Structure 1
Amino acid sequence: MSEEEKRSAPAQDAQTPEDESRNNSEKTLEEPSEKSNEDGQAKEKPEQQEGPAGGFDATPVSPAPPGYTVKITFHRAHDLPMADINSLSSDPYILAQLNTSLPSRHKEDPYLRLRTPTVRRSTEPVWDFPWIIDHVPATGFKLKARIYDEDPADHDDRLGNVHVSVPALSEDFPGIKEGSYKIKKRMGSKRAYAIRAITTCLRTTKHFGGHLVVSVEILGRSQGDGGRAYTVGPMWWTRHYSPLLGRITGQKDPGDDEPTQGENHEQSPKSKTERYDFQANQFQLRGPVPWQLYHRFVEFKPFVKGMFTSKGIRGFLMSKALHHQHARVYNFDRSTLTGRFDHPSHEATMKFLDLVHYDQGGRIFTYVLTLDALFRFTETGKEFGIDMLSKHTMHSDVSIYIAFSGEFFIRRLKHPHEDPTQSPQSEHNGRNGKGSLDENNPSHPPDSIGGGPPGDEPVKDPKYYELVIDNDSGTYRPNAKMLPLLKDFLQANFVGLKVVTLDCQGDAELMGKMKDEQREKKKREGSHIVYRQGSLGSSISSSDEEELDEMAGGQMNGAARP
């Protein structure tokens, strides 16, 4: 399937500019407050567990009849205000939120949200971006669409709101065909509307008020149990570039196959400090995430709860800092790339492998899987000197509840693996002590396999790769018993890719061995670039260079494991 690659991006569960400093446990939009089941009885409490509060939560989804599969399409907008006085235009996108009468398991559960692509320099933007949600109840929904002007150098200006209310759904629902809704200006940017008013008076524009065109249709009855609404399509992806300071440390000469690190480090002139782009990725997977994948942050320190709930001065400041770091890492600007697929496919799996650079360079990634199947991940390692209070907390945007988190990496196989759909029901891989170490099908690393990096281009077939993923996250501490469910979910979304799961405790020795092999591979094949978090437009100081020197020395001398 063809894919769009634009200099803009969609994103789900995004933090709105107004919401950045709000309490994560409060819901500011219209949402049902009822948290009991249909009989009015309180939900079952999860079993008591030893250790600090948090981690796996066994609270079940409230039972409900099957709902409907609803497709919402954001077509276009007319007569938007002008947020940029220089170009007399805006860079608009929509942040949409869907509210239903379905009770959430906890009031802190994240919103069901979608961010559309950004349309550049236009007051007449055309998105035609679909959002397909499953198990929307017969009691209907309320859709709130906030229109913003994207401004990477400053905060995003709100251009207005649109509310779409559908009080009931049924087989006879006629749908909404390109309905035009007036944009409410009450919460919009006064500056943007002032520019619009001036141009209207000067007859440069004809109308002062804007409209948003939206369609709603029912695709049919949802299958399976109801109780929660979730995204089933499209499978969109984004690649974000964050500005960082970088220092090349011992870049391997292409003409020298295996120079020793000591020789390279000592004979090279002082490395040059430059800017590099740190890549962050998002991939919307097809829901639903298994309901059992439900984890809360762990209160391993007294300050952690305040950080997630924004309680107290310390908690408020730490939460705000992490929200800011999330916005920095998943920054939206003209360099952001995006595309989408209608459903899980070979092409979607190839795009995922492209986002992780196949098996090049021995990369290890930190990831978070949200409750609505949004897969966020960035490369991790000691060369990334990024000042983050918590990597998984940053990836989740300080979400109290997520589905799963940990680390993963990609390995290339010598032979194409068997179709996982033809094998017996998935089991956790690591506990047998074998993991992905298939004697009949060596992987790289640790074995040397031709036909791929670093000498050749990556093999463009997902059957030659395996995704090794674990639950190594101190922030949420996912339950190892849920790994088989995670494996099945990922294999269903990444068609043709072999998935291997490891328990960070039960398989600690095997996991450590495999990650050490990845790091050794990175020393041999990686680019040897160290990174440090920088700011937009910031200059490089002598202290920055000294810090990069220390980081570079630590990397070359085998610093402590991340």
Structure 2
Amino acid sequence: MLESLNDAVHKTKEAANREKGALTRKLGEMGIEVPLVDVEIQFIGASGLPKMDVVGSADPYFVAKIDHRISFVSNVVRNSLAPVWNEIWRVKNVPSTADLAVEVHDKDEGSATDDFIGKFNISLSAGAKEVQIEGPVLALRKSRGTFWLKIDSKPSTMRKKEEFQYLFDGPIRFTRHFSPTVGLFTSSAITTNTAGSNADPGGRSSIHGNRRDVRLYSTWKFVIKAVPLFFRNVHQDWNTKYPAAQKIFGAGPTSLAVRSGIQAGHRMLYARLASNGYGVIDNRMEGGVEEPVSLKAILNAGSGPEGVSSAEGGAGGERIKPAVYTYIISSADDTLRFSETGAAFFVDFASKHALHSNCAQHVRYSGEFHPRPVGGWVNFNDSIADDDIDWELVVDNNSGTYAPDKMMLPTVQECLEYNFGCGLAERNSKGERGFKVVVYDREDERLVESREACRNYAVNVRGVSQDDLEPHVHDGEVTLNQTASPTLQETFNAPNSLQPLATPES
């Protein structure tokens, strides 16, 4: 009964916020202008949180929303009742009447839901704030601690600002997810070998049996800036002519089973865990001037599990790895999600892109990308330091599941260049080189040549196994598919069923 009352109060407040937003829009339609502002919110930290775990204290994180139109999810602070976040959130073109709603949760790994600690609502008026966190309405302890934040705002100056309200403006945040795959569906420790009796005579990395590159068990999610500004209302629907997509998005019970398995796999791959790699890429300097981001900062974003390095990327994963990546730009939250195309968890799944998108009916865009030094991998050798040469990111639309329109490739290029400061300067304040974005249609012969040169360098110079270029499984390993949905494999093995991964265009 108490939970029902709490839910009723919460829903009433949400309804009031929605009505407020509708009123603001109505005033705009009537010609009564509501000033728009650009806000920067610094989430400093909290104190006095209640102990939520039987063992330990709490693993808090928070979810912030502005008028329920745009949201921000913090990182998880382990074992703390006084977490310090110091995270920045910038949003353009926000109505000056907007409210900020924050909910604080305790991360419970291994549980389907996280514990609710408390919440608060405030206006977006500028200044430093000290806010009491309110627990459930009928809880014995109503106050659940104190939250500190600071809000700066200034009038919006963007052209067509009314058209692009609640526009995320950075900084770029990323998470690197590896624990579900490393801990759940591999039966042996992941290690690398760069020296000793098993080392390659030429000094190349070597992987034997189940000793695998941790990057093959990782997914990345980047919250990138201003996606609606570039893509507007354009989305890429699933490809009704592609057999694997028909199997996933169809209306029958078989498709429902396939979707359920893929969605279970997605939840495991992108689970929010305290052990995830986490970071911020903020290339905005004082005075609002932006600088380029290095390609290495993107492809090597997030640290691996403790004590594990990336074999093919060089010691500690410091070098740019010659690898092909599968990516989507999500329509649901405008995030860039990607992993290596040869990632082991793709085994037995009908579509790599559907696994990243959580079986979304449409995405902003999808395809593959790979890095290359200017001049190509054929003219590169490992005696050249990565920082001594210019780099390019080659992006394509190679996705059978969504068959993205090649005419949108320049839009993808502009969006990525905007986010990562491409072309702003040769080097940033750290002395790192920026990079260029090159786009090719999936049928362009230049793409095939560049992609094969990348893979050949990985095999012939870096010692990457041929197996690791495509999804596969070694003896003794349990696939993510089998872990997420034991019945899904039976579906694919049924008579007349599609054989997953029969084509590289997933």
**Same fold per TM (> 0.5)?**
yes
Instruction: Report the Cα distance in structure 2 between the residues aligned to 1:490 and 1:291, rounded to whole angstroms.
Output: 12
Task: Report deviation, 1:486.
Answer: 1.6
Instruction: Report the Cα distance in structure 2 between the residues aligned to 1:379 and 1:133, rounded to whole angstroms.
Output: 31
Residue aligned with 2:393, SS? strand
The answer to whether the 8 Å contact 1:176/1:217 transfers is yes
2:386 equivalent in structure 1: 459
The answer to whether the 8 Å contact 1:361/1:521 transfers is no
2:153 equivalent in structure 1: 218
**For 1:106-143, what per-residue CA distance to the aligned partner results, in whole angstroms no more than 9, with x for missing partners?**
xxxxx6322111111012222222211111134x3343
Task: Report deviation, 1:458.
Answer: 4.3
Match of 1:284 among 223, 230, 239: 223
Instruction: Report the Cα distance in structure 1 between the residues aligned to 2:412 and 2:256, rounded to whole angstroms.
Output: 33
Query: Does 2:364 correspond to 1:364?
Result: no
The answer to whether the 8 Å contact 1:366/1:392 transfers is yes
Map 1:136-147 → 2, pairs under 5 A: 136-138=94-96, 140-147=97-104
Instruction: Report the Cα distance in structure 2 between the residues aligned to 1:65 and 1:305, rounded to whole angstroms.
Output: 46
Match of 1:380 among 327, 341, 344: 341
Map 1:233-312 → 2, pairs under 5 A: 233-241=170-178, 242-243=181-182, 244-245=185-186, 254-257=199-202, 272-273=209-210, 277=214, 278-288=217-227, 289-292=229-232, 294-298=234-238, 300=240
The answer to whether the 8 Å contact 1:238/1:338 transfers is yes
Map 1:391-470 → 2, pairs under 5 A: 391-413=352-374, 442-444=375-377, 447-450=378-381, 452=382, 456=383, 458-460=385-387, 464-470=390-396
Map 1:339-358 → 2, pairs under 5 A: 339-342=279-282, 343=284, 345-347=291-293, 349-355=295-301
**For 1:347-389, what per-residue CA distance to the aligned partner results, in whole angstroms no more than 9, with x for missing partners?**
5544114348687553100111235652221001386553434
Instruction: Report the Cα distance in structure 1 between the residues aligned to 2:127 and 2:380, rounded to whole angstroms.
Output: 56
Query: Does 2:38 correspond to 1:69?
Result: yes
1:500 equivalent in structure 2: 438
Moved more, 153-162 or 465-474: 153-162
Residue aligned with 1:492, SS? helix
Instruction: Report the Cα distance in structure 2 between the residues aligned to 1:411 and 1:313, rounded to whole angstroms.
Output: 44
Change (3 A) 1:385 1:236: closer
TM-score scaled to structure 1, two decimals?
A: 0.61
**For 1:47-81, what per-residue CA distance to the aligned partner results, in whole angstroms no more than 9, with x for missing partners?**
xxxxxxxxxxxxxxxxx998321122322233333
Same amino acid, percent of matched pairs: 23
Instruction: Report the Cα distance in structure 1 between the residues aligned to 2:58 and 2:239, rounded to whole angstroms.
Output: 43
Change (3 A) 1:332 1:349: same
**For 1:125-177, what per-residue CA distance to the aligned partner results, in whole angstroms no more than 9, with x for missing partners?**
22222211111134x334332322223333342324424253xx8xxxx4252
Instruction: Report the Cα distance in structure 2 between the residues aligned to 1:94 and 1:384, rounded to whole angstroms.
Output: 29
Query: Does 2:105 correspond to 1:148?
Result: yes
The answer to whether the 8 Å contact 1:82/1:123 transfers is yes
Change (3 A) 1:534 1:39: same
1:133 equivalent in structure 2: 91
Residue aligned with 1:209, SS? strand
Query: Does 2:269 correspond to 1:333?
Result: no
Instruction: Report the Cα distance in structure 1 between the residues aligned to 2:63 and 2:478, rounded to whole angstroms.
Output: 28
The answer to whether the 8 Å contact 1:359/1:412 transfers is no
- Higher RCO, Cα 8 Å, sep 6+: 1
Task: Report deviation, 1:210.
Answer: 3.2
**For 1:397-445, what per-residue CA distance to the aligned partner results, in whole angstroms no more than 9, with x for missing partners?**
34444322110000112xxxxxxxxxxxxxxxxxxxxxxxxxxxx311x
Query: Does 2:459 correspond to 1:523?
Result: yes
Change (3 A) 1:112 1:275: same
Which structure features the higher share of helix residues?
Answer: 2
TM-score scaled to structure 2, two decimals?
A: 0.67
Query: Does 2:114 correspond to 1:157?
Result: yes
Change (3 A) 1:186 1:400: farther
Match of 2:59 among 79, 91, 105: 91
Instruction: Report the Cα distance in structure 2 between the residues aligned to 1:389 and 1:161, rounded to whole angstroms.
Output: 41
Task: Report deviation, 1:179.
Answer: 3.6
Change (3 A) 1:158 1:276: farther
Instruction: Report the Cα distance in structure 1 between the residues aligned to 2:65 and 2:350, rounded to whole angstroms.
Output: 28
The answer to whether the 8 Å contact 2:99/2:122 transfers is yes
**For 1:473-494, what per-residue CA distance to the aligned partner results, in whole angstroms no more than 9, with x for missing partners?**
2233222112112212222333
Task: Report deviation, 1:240.
Answer: 2.0
2:7 equivalent in structure 1: none
Instruction: Report the Cα distance in structure 2 between the residues aligned to 1:274 and 1:29, rounded to whole angstroms.
Output: 55
**What amino acid sits opposite 1:472 in the alignment?**
N
Instruction: Report the Cα distance in structure 2 between the residues aligned to 1:157 and 1:352, rounded to whole angstroms.
Output: 30
1:11 equivalent in structure 2: none
2:6 equivalent in structure 1: none
Q: CA RMSD in A?
A: 4.4
The answer to whether the 8 Å contact 1:147/1:160 transfers is yes
Task: Report deviation, 1:185.
Answer: 2.0
Match of 2:131 among 170, 180, 198: 180
Change (3 A) 1:39 1:231: closer
The answer to whether the 8 Å contact 1:148/1:160 transfers is yes
Change (3 A) 1:384 1:209: closer
Instruction: Report the Cα distance in structure 1 between the residues aligned to 2:86 and 2:193, rounded to whole angstroms.
Output: 45
Instruction: Report the Cα distance in structure 2 between the residues aligned to 1:95 and 1:392, rounded to whole angstroms.
Output: 27
**What amino acid sits opposite 1:182 in the alignment?**
I
Unaligned runs of 5+ in 1: 1-26, 42-63, 101-110, 188-192, 201-206, 414-441, 539-558
Change (3 A) 1:153 1:535: farther
The answer to whether the 8 Å contact 1:177/1:216 transfers is yes
**What amino acid sits opposite 1:391 in the alignment?**
K
Residue aligned with 1:213, SS? strand
Residue aligned with 1:520, SS? helix
